[in-house]
């Protein structure tokens, strides 16, 4: 059984007078398996948040269906199985970070002691330990996002539905969240995440789907979608000019076209991490 099964999902929003206005989703189908990270990619307004809200029972579908571990959204078993991070984290401003997590722990049915212990672990894990006793009101956007993620984690659900989890985070924070998502996958959790930023999903998703105007344009594993089978890239070191020239000559002799040859560029993210990756220097 899939952790999340979305079948032919459609949603039309109506205006005040009941007239059909926006077709936010149009026949969307996808599934997420345990131990899989599935990324929903698409521009603003493509229907990502609408999909997630239907999947957690906050909105009703106009057509089609969603099941969470076989159960309908909004039922007790679906709610217990799912951890949802909304697009805008809704945190109570007058609670401290520690109190926020203890509250979410209590709501998830943990004992006082377990909630307190887990809360401390999560504050440490999400780099919020220094702010444990501070009120959420004064938190930066990134800190609020990390606390939002921690409050989803405290219930230890099987299915995570995370709407733009890295929005508002600096690159280091985003990498931290991506590592966390990879850890959850390792524990067999099913994770459905969305983003409108490509780089956010690249290193973390097993499969991605592209959504535009509520329609699914393409889906597949990153391997299927991104691997360029008609090209071969060889990285060698050190790049001594004679050896490189000889390699290029050999390639031509074998009838290959040399498409590129030279020192590769690191990604800006990789470089940023090499400069600021050490948290003590950050
Ligand atoms: N409550 C609502 N009432 C009317 N239209 C809505 C509502 N929520 C979303 N929409 C519309 O549905 C479309 C998809 O929105 P959304 O799911 O939020 O997109 P995304 O999360 O991909 O940015 C947009 O055109 C948006 O304006
Ligand atoms: Mg959205």
**pLDDT tens digits, 25-57:** 999 999 999 999 999 999 999 999 999 999 999
Mean pLDDT (whole number) for 113-140: 94
Q: Give me the CATH number covering residue 127.
A: 3.40.50.300
Residue numbers of the domain that contains 18: 4-226
**pLDDT tens digits, 146-179:** 999 999 999 999 999 999 998 888 888 888 899 9
Same-domain pairing of 108 and 195: yes
Q: How many angstroms does the Cα of residue 183 sit away from the middle of ligand 1?
A: 31
Decide: pTM greater than 0.85.
yes
Q: How many angstroms does the Cα of residue 10 sit away from the middle of ligand 1?
A: 12
Same-domain pairing of 174 and 116: yes
Same-domain pairing of 207 and 93: yes
- DSSP output for the chain: --SEEEEEEEEEEE-TTS-EEEEEEEEEEEEE-TT-EEEEE--TTSSHHHHHHHHTTSS--SEEEEEETTBPTTSHHHHHHEEEE-SS----TTSBHHHHHHHHHHHTT--HHHHHHHHHHHHHHTT-GGGTTSBGGG--HHHHHHHHHHHHHTT--SEEEEESTTTT--HHHHHHHHHHHHHHHHTT-EEEEEES-HHHHHTT-SEEEEEETTEEEEEEEHHHHH--TT------SS--HHHHHHHHHHHHHTT------SPPPPPHHHHHHHHH-STTT-
Q: How many angstroms does the Cα of residue 107 sit away from the middle of ligand 2?
A: 26
Which among 226, 242, 274 is the end of a domain? 226
**pLDDT tens digits, 197-226:** 777 777 889 999 999 999 999 999 988 888
Residue 282 has pLDDT above 50, yes or no: no
Same-domain pairing of 233 and 222: no
Same-domain pairing of 182 and 240: no
Same-domain pairing of 240 and 271: yes
The pLDDT score that the predictor gives to residue 279 is: 55
Q: Looking at the 3D structure of the chain, how many domains does it have?
A: 2
The atom number, within ligand 1, closest to the CA of 214 reads 14
Same-domain pairing of 245 and 176: no
Same-domain pairing of 180 and 120: yes
Q: How confident is the model at residue 271 (pLDDT cuts 50, 70, 90)?
A: confident
Ligand 1 residue neighbourhood (C-beta within 6 Å)? 13, 22, 24, 42, 44-50
Same-domain pairing of 139 and 266: no
Which among 178, 193, 226 is the end of a domain? 226
Indicate which ligand has the atom closest to the C-alpha of 211. Answer: 1
Same-domain pairing of 157 and 76: yes
Same-domain pairing of 135 and 240: no
Mean pLDDT (whole number) for 125-141: 93
């Amino acid at each position: 059984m899939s952790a999340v099964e979305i079948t032919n999902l459609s949603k039309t929003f109506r205006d005040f007078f009941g007239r059909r206005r926006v077709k936010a989703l149009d026949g969307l189908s996808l599934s997420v398996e345990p131990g899989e990270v599935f990324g929903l990619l698409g521009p603003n307004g493509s229907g990502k948040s609408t999909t997630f809200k239907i999947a957690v029972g906050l909105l009703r579908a106009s057509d089609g269906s969603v099941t969470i571990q076989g159960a309908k959204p909004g039922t007790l078993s679906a709610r217990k199985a799912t951890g949802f991070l909304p697009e805008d984290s809704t945190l109570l401003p007058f609670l401290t970070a520690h109190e926020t997590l203890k509250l979410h722990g209590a709501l998830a049915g943990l004992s006082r002691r377990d909630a307190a212990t887990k809360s401390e672990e999560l504050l440490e894990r999400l780099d919020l330990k220094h702010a444990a006793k501070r009120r959420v009101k004064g938190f930066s956007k990134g800190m609020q996002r990390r606390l939002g993620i921690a409050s989803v984690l405290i219930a230890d659900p099987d299915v995570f539905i995370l709407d733009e989890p890295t929005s508002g985070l600096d690159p280091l924070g985003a990498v931290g969240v991506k590592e966390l998502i990879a850890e959850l996958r390792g524990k067999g959790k099913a994770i459905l995440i969305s983003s409108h930023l490509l780089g956010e999903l690249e290193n973390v998703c097993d499969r991605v789907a592209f959504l535009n105007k509520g329609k699914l344009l393409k889906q597949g594993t990153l391997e299927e979608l991104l691997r360029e089978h008609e090209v071969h890239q060889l990285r060698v070191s050190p790049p001594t000019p004679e050896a490189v020239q000889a390699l290029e000559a050999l390639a031509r002799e074998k009838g290959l076209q040399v498409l590129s040859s030279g020192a590769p560029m690191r990604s800006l993210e990789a470089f940023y991490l090499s400069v600021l990756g050490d948290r003590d220097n950050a």
